[in-house]
A = this chain, B = another copy of it.
């Protein structure tokens, strides 16, 4: 529970923790002291509806996950150089959800560790170095991953593009290089895949082979993008023709979030060579996994270099992952994600008809994005509106975030226990906030005009905190739109 006054927590945080580790709502950060299911509670006991935490997958403080962790912690927590049942049971569960070619697991502590190992395996297996990744993609915080994450290396202060890294356009049909205004869905898939083929060709022309193509199956930081149906199938063929492996990064989108399937790559007719998984796997506990083929695992083994990961696959991490897995099954969370996700998507699409600033609504299961624009024709990204929405939603005690290359896509990736009632609350509040946007624009114009007269002006009306209990909003007629 709370041990320090919030002001002191803030002061210590600023003084003692690396400033590159940024807080949500930096100017007025949230202090969260407990959380349950899809709600987080601040130090005053105020509840926030959590639409951000894709890690708290089966709900914050899920009792069966907590119990599994506590029971195992009291018994044993050691490294995987000793035999233990939880690790092999966890591997069995994971492999039961995957295509037959994926047979071997490596347990690690984070999605980043899994992706780093994926690149290492690909280099060892193919003997090649060149990596193809997507524009705006993010694959983790480690050196090897920052190098391939356009989302990071391409920032003004970023490390820039290394020679062995190739960036293919993001297969975003709405605001990518090729758009749905000019091409059919199938054409878009082919065109975006063709870009990857061209990169493979260029690599081959330098008498080199491709090492790997890595992509999130649905692109999260890239702006909640769902690639066209035929895209990955085409890409995988091109990459394999060039000698490369295909890596599906399921760290953000896996474990049933998309509803219909356990893994987002199963939305496509493909069989990756390596799948990496993380975030939701431990419901907050640091555990992650890489799954690959026997052949690739053997290539690694044949180097004679042992792989030892101190905490990877320890009994507590695996007991927790097993409990997460069982909870998804027992509580039918994939089916729920599908039903509630469809409902949220439909409601957002209705909202889009009312508010022209919603340019695109896309999603699958509880992976949903709203692409905010200045106008529907130009599709010019409206970052300002997105920032306003995120801030105002927080004031209404709903946590959402904005992402994508232009920071204009409102992301929904809530815990899987999110309900239709939660979806109603979100959409209703969003409706109200988007109505304010026009008023806000008018007000801003007024402030500017006043400021030009040198008079100091403070406008509190739309930026002050609203501490009405969440329920008062909830109680409004949810069918009003």
- Report A's interface with B, CB cutoff 8 A: 1-4, 6, 9-10, 12-13, 15-24, 29-35, 40, 53, 55-56, 60-61, 63, 66, 69-70, 73-85, 87-89, 91-92, 95, 103-107, 109-113, 116-117, 119-120, 141-144, 146, 152, 155-158, 278-279, 282-287, 292, 297-298, 300-314, 316-317
Inter-chain CA distance A304–B157, complex, in Å, is 6
Inter-chain CA distance A116–B85, complex, in Å, is 31
Sample 17 A-B pairs with CB under 8 A, ordered by A number: A3-B85, A9-B85, A13-B83, A16-B92, A20-B307, A21-B308, A21-B313, A22-B308, A24-B82, A31-B82, A35-B76, A53-B78, A56-B77, A69-B69, A120-B143, A142-B144, A152-B305
* Contact A284-B78, Cβ < 8 Å, known A21-B308, A22-B308, A55-B310: yes
Distance of A327 from chain B, by nearest CB (Å): 14
* Contact A18-B316, Cβ < 8 Å, known A6-B83, A9-B83: no
Q: What residues of B have a CB within 8 angstroms of the CB of A85 in the complex?
A: 2-4, 9
Inter-chain CA distance A303–B153, complex, in Å, is 11
Instruction: Across the interface, name the chain B residue whose C-beta is closest to A24.
Output: B81
In the bound complex, do residue A74 and residue B91 qualify as a contact, i.e. CB atoms below 8 Å apart?
Answer: no
In the bound complex, do residue A143 and residue B158 qualify as a contact, i.e. CB atoms below 8 Å apart?
Answer: no
Q: What residues of B have a CB within 8 angstroms of the CB of A1 in the complex?
A: 75
Q: What residues of B have a CB within 8 angstroms of the CB of A13 in the complex?
A: 83, 87-88
Inter-chain CA distance A91–B14, complex, in Å, is 11
6 more A-B residue pairs beyond the given contacts A22-B306, A34-B76, A63-B74, with a C-beta to C-beta distance below 8 A: A20-B305, A23-B82, A33-B76, A78-B284, A109-B113, A110-B310
From B76, B283, B303, B307, A18 is in contact (CB under 8 Å) with B307
